[in-house]
Amino acid sequence: MKEFNINTLVRKNILNLQPYISFRDHNEFNAPVMLDANECPFGEFNRYPDSSQKKIKNKLAELKGISPSKIALGNGSDELIDLIIKIFCEPKKDAILMMNPSFAMYGFYAAVNENEVLKLNLDENFEILKDDFLKISKENKPKIFFLCSPNNPTGNSVEDIEFFIRNFDGIVVIDEAYIEFSGNRSGIELLDQYSNVIVLQTFSKAWGTAGARVGAAYASEEIIRLINTVKAPYNVNSLSQEFILNLLDNKNKLQENVGKVLEERAWLEEQFKSIECIVKVFPTDANFFLIKMNNAQTVYQKLLEQEILTSQRSPAIADCIRINVGSREENEKLINVLKGILS
């Protein structure tokens, strides 16, 4: 087990910060008269939401096999990424490390916090070069390493994650936004072994609730207390909490969504073989494909003319477009348009 004194990594002002504590959320009442929070006494959603999201955490704890005290919820994973950087990275002093290419928001929130963004360039198969990782970790000493697995926008999973955890003297954030589509074991299983690990998951992808904006962080109780100290008091609204609670009562919905996506992913992969303008379809563990095209800019524009929205990755990833899996109707329209585009 790799032990860290987390306090040596945390910004000093954060250690001294006193969290906002909602009195009503930390006490039990039978029939309270709520005159404490300056709310309007009228209206369907006139009361502030549960600031500690206890009911959702309890249900997630049962689902994931982890204590509720090791779970924090955010307004999407984006808020959690922002909070993690604010907790551990001193502005104008510390750096984060991220894969390149990977999810752009790691760098965005680091830049907002005035932290240096170190990029670990991936090889031609979008895998991490371990020697490069060891070199940049030793020389630059970044505070946080963001590991996106499966990686966005490449779609592949990171191999040998424990190697990177063991060889990094800081916080390792494993972003598992797409893990349900991969069949991989979650980094949550590593939390008892490594106290410097944070695992991020989301309801936006496989659960099909991007509009609710709810993400979850799993980590040691010490790190979760820090996140709860820094987060806004009512960061997950009542409507989203209610929606997610109902969703967690219907766990079959997750498997249903994943099953449909995987079926469509396999269908699309087979269809891509006959598309003339496609040069290469990269292997994917996610709900999207990274595809190398002949004349990618032209293909992107042709799709856009038919109101098919895709994600142009060039020039960062030369001649590539990211296309996520849609419904069969959407996928058939995509294939029909692509078939009309010649090399």
pLDDT tens for 252-304 read 999 999 999 999 999 999 999 999 999 999 999 999 999 999 999 999 999 99
Q: What is the average per-residue pLDDT within 123-131?
A: 97
State the pLDDT at residue 43. Answer: 92
State the pLDDT at residue 4. Answer: 77
- Per-residue confidence band for 24, with pLDDT thresholds at 50, 70 and 90: confident
- Per-residue confidence band for 343, with pLDDT thresholds at 50, 70 and 90: low
Cis ω before 150 (30° cut-off from 0): yes
Alpha-carbon span 37 to 40, nearest angstrom: 9
Say which residues have a Cβ less than 8 Å from residue 301's Cβ, sequence separation at least 6: none
Which residue ranges form the domains of the chain, and what is each CATH number?
A: 12-250 (3.40.640.10), 253-339 (3.90.1150.10)
Residues of the chain above pLDDT 90, percent: 90
Beta-carbon neighbour count of residue 28 at 10 Å? 6
Asked if the model's pLDDT at residue 22 lies above 90, the reply is no
Angle at the Cα of 244 from the Cα atoms of 238 and 249, rounded to 5 degrees: 130
- Per-residue confidence band for 137, with pLDDT thresholds at 50, 70 and 90: very high
- Per-residue confidence band for 235, with pLDDT thresholds at 50, 70 and 90: very high
DSSP class of residue 129 equals: -
DSSP class of residue 261 equals: H
Is 205 in contact with 257 (CB distance < 8 Å)?
no
Q: Is the dihedral of CA 61, 65, 67, 72 positive or negative?
A: negative
What are the E-state strand segments in 176-309? 197-202, 215-218, 278-281, 288-293
Alpha-carbon span 300 to 257, nearest angstrom: 27
Q: What is the pLDDT of residues 83-109, one digit of tens each?
A: 999 999 999 999 999 999 999 999 999
State the pLDDT at residue 342. Answer: 74
Say which residues have a Cβ less than 8 Å from residue 228's Cβ, sequence separation at least 6: 19, 52, 72
Residues of the chain above pLDDT 70, percent: 99
Alpha-carbon span 307 to 318, nearest angstrom: 23
Q: Which two tokens stand for residue 206?
A: 């496989």
Q: What is the average per-residue pLDDT within 213-218?
A: 98
